[in-house]
Structure 1
Amino acid sequence: MDEQQKKELETFVDKVMGETSLESPSPDFTEKLMAKIEAQSQQEVFVAQPLLPRKLLMFLFLGFVAGFIYLLMTYGLDPNQGWFKNIEWNLDFSNTWRWMEGYTASKVTLYAVLLFGVLFFVQIPWLKRYLDQHGTLS
């Protein structure tokens, strides 16, 4: 852009700016704005309510505990009594881990898993300290 175009552009901008009037807010703008802010700050904050009232939850919990105690007192924990006699108590977990019998991991895999495990448990206190220092946790 040469000097002549710059001068023309500057005169055009000056002409446009001269024709426009400055807009100013109404004299009571500040009072109206502050009244709106105060009205918003005085509104009640929404407080979350539980779906079930506390009394009903306590009643259900106590009913569950009473029913459990009744079952224990009526049938006991003897495996040969009541409906416990129909349950087969097989505590053999050998079939659960049978798929792992032929699995072997390399030392690199073992070290990687250990390193990531340690780093995972190190980052929790580090992040807690960082967030405490920067005031994001209250």
Structure 2
Amino acid sequence: MDKESDKELDEFVGKLLRENPIESPSLNFTSKIMEQVETMPQNELFTYRPLISKYAWAGIGLFLFIGSLLVVFGSVEMETSLSGLMNIDGQINFDLLKNLPHFNMPNTLIYGVLGFSFFACIQIVLIKHQFDKRFIVH
């Protein structure tokens, strides 16, 4: 921008400020606001609304549960030819023990995962209790 346009802008802003004076609040503005806040009931000040609703958590849990069942019990077979895709023989095999994976895990790993899960759950409960005491939850 050049100096002439800056000068025009300054004149325009000055004209606007002269025509529309800035209003200031009354002297006891803050005290009036604080009186209204203090007279308001506590339960209206802090209302707890979770970020994720109970129905959303149920949906997420159901999705994870079905996904884990598919990982454990499902088997993926890819067919690349069109004739293999059209072949439907009508037999359905429900042998679940055949699809279970066979893992050899050391006992220390199992104990470690169980201990970590247990103490993580305890910590979540304690932290939630602490926040519930700090903030009023309705």
Q: TM-score, with normalisation over the residues of structure 2?
A: 0.36
Greater C-alpha radius of gyration:
1
Q: TM-score, with normalisation over the residues of structure 1?
A: 0.36
- Structure showing greater relative contact order (alpha-carbon pairs closer than 8 Å, 6 or more residues apart): 2
